[in-house]
Amino acid sequence: MFIDKAKIKLKAGNGGDGAVSFHREKYVAAGGPDGGDGGKGGNIVFVVSTHLSTLADFRYKRKYKAEDGGHGKPGRGSGKKGEDLTVEVPMGTVVRDAESGRIIADLSDTQPHIIARGGKGGWGNTHFATPTRQVPKFAKPGIPGEEMEVVLELKLLADVGLVGFPNVGKSSLINEVSEAHSVVGNYHFTTVEPVLGVVRRAEGQSFVMADIPGLIEGAGDGVGLGHEFLRHVDRCRLLVHIVDVSGSEGRDPIEDFETINRELSQYSTELAQRPMIVAGNKIDLATDEQLARFETYIREQGYEYFPMSAPIRYGVDELIAKIVEKLSKLPPIAVYEPEPYVPEPVENPREFHIRKEDDVYFVEAPWLLQIMRSVNFDDYESMQYFERVLNNSGIIQGLRDAGVQEHDTVSIYDFEFDFVN
């Protein structure tokens, strides 16, 4: 079964805790702190596999977790770094955040993409030794790894998308002009999954064509195959709309053309405005009157029109030549840019915990982690935003209630600052 959409849960590795340890050596007094840092948690990395063509594997495994980092050790020993978890996906997979819908990554190349980052390891007590704090009996815990639910969508990387009703000749065309082997039969929904074919012309003139399963009226309401496969023409630079000009199944070709265009518009206004060529197939079964009527209508709509009969290759070469010409003037296949995470303003107090170790105040609030990843601590306006978050969430007041004084150290995960009233 062709699966082109899946929802999975990801959990990157947690950072290991820093160690609290003191140097012990015979004849050496007050050896000092020597607790090592925790190891970084493993990332979850997505890579493209040329051996995969569907998302079927994600039907059976829906949870993916990377290895946690090891805890720090005595003698300044660092914890082991957690192993990254590699997840293979087909070329053209778009990764979205399940909750917000924002695009995290578009895997349209062979570069690995880190989707969920492992947490940093906590500092050992070695880092907290100062002239006035010579015996720090505390260390930092590791930062949790990113945890999220994502939606995977497979959007095929094709230059040309063939659209039209079932059984109008899309499969016959792609079989004639490429090495694809799409099943052809005289019944509806012969093609039940997208088929890609490489059309090779002269050197530098090859392109990828996608045979998209046929639409029918009402697809947007779930009739037939619905709009599930239209995501595969999202990237196509050019659409070729194939119509059975003979009306061999008792439908009117003009009504077919208008119906499919309505379905395209219902799915995406932008897709409906994509450059389109119209091919009138099965001309060998049509009357002269049918041919003239349909061609006149299409040209009046402003489309370029090519009559053809795919099985005997009549008119096919002319159509392919026009496709090559059009593609040479169109921009390359679309690649979806990742969308930045925009945190929502924090207006109401949220759960947090404050603990004091010596003269350091540690703030723990897991919901702050995602916000902190979006803050540039070297930028004044960004720091002002973070200060507002701390105020609005009640953390600043919580620190005051805990007894924080001017210039005391406040530690929030991997960010430290001196408290100023």
Tell me, what CATH number does 19's domain have?
A: 2.70.210.12
For residue 77, the one-letter residue type is G
132 and 197 assigned to the same domain? no
Residue 278 covered by a domain: yes
Highest mean pLDDT: which range of 24-28, 130-134, 352-356: 352-356
In the block, residue with structure tokens 């004091």: 356
pLDDT of residue 171: 86
Containing domain of residue 367, as a range?
Answer: 342-421
Question: With bands split at pLDDT 50, 70 and 90, how would you rate the model's confidence at 384?
Answer: confident
Mean pLDDT across the stretch 163-183?
82
Query: Would residue 333 count as lying in a domain?
Result: no
Task: Please answer whether residues 415 and 368 qualify as being in contact, where contact means their C-beta atoms are separated by less than 8 angstroms.
Answer: no
**pLDDT, position 397:** 92
Res. 75: pLDDT tops 80:
yes
Q: Which residue, 139, 155, 171, sits at the end of a domain?
A: 155
Whole-number average pLDDT of the chain: 86
Indicate whether 252 and 400 sit together in one domain: no
Q: Could you report the per-residue pLDDT of 213-261, keeping only the tens digit for each?
A: 755 555 445 444 445 667 778 889 999 999 999 998 888 999 999 988 9
Residues 238, 368: one domain?
no
Size of the chain in residues: 421
Task: Decide if 335 is inside a domain.
Answer: no
> 145 lies in a domain?
yes
Q: Does residue 135 share a domain with residue 242?
A: no
Residues 6 and 103 in one domain: yes
Q: Are 303 and 363 in the same domain?
A: no
| Residues 102 and 214 reside in one and the same domain | no
For residues 185 and 151, membership in a common domain is answered with no
Residue 179 has pLDDT above 80, yes or no: no
Q: Residue 79: its pLDDT value, please?
A: 95
Asked whether residue 332 is domain-assigned, the answer is: no
Residue 392 has pLDDT above 80, yes or no: yes
Give the residue-averaged pLDDT of 391-412.
90
Does 27 lie in the same domain as 53?
A: yes
What is the rounded average pLDDT of the residues 344-358?
A: 74
Q: Tell which phi-psi region holds residue 320, choosing left (phi > 0), alpha (psi between -120 and 50) or beta.
A: alpha
The pLDDT score that the predictor gives to residue 66 is 98
Task: Determine the pLDDT at residue 292.
Answer: 96
Count of structural domains, the chain: 3
* pTM beyond 0.85, yes or no: no
CATH number where 313 lies: 3.40.50.300
User: Is 60 exceeded by the pLDDT of residue 187?
Assistant: no
Position 337 in a domain: no
State whether 87 and 4 are in the same domain: yes
Query: Has residue 104 been placed in a domain?
Result: yes
Which of 89, 124, 155 lies at the terminal end of a domain, its last residue?
Answer: 155
Question: Is 415 among the domain residues?
Answer: yes
Q: Domain ends where: 276, 294, 327?
A: 327
Please tell me the predicted confidence (pLDDT) of residue 380: 83
pLDDT of residue 119: 93
Are 141 and 196 in the same domain? no
- 289 & 234 share domain: yes
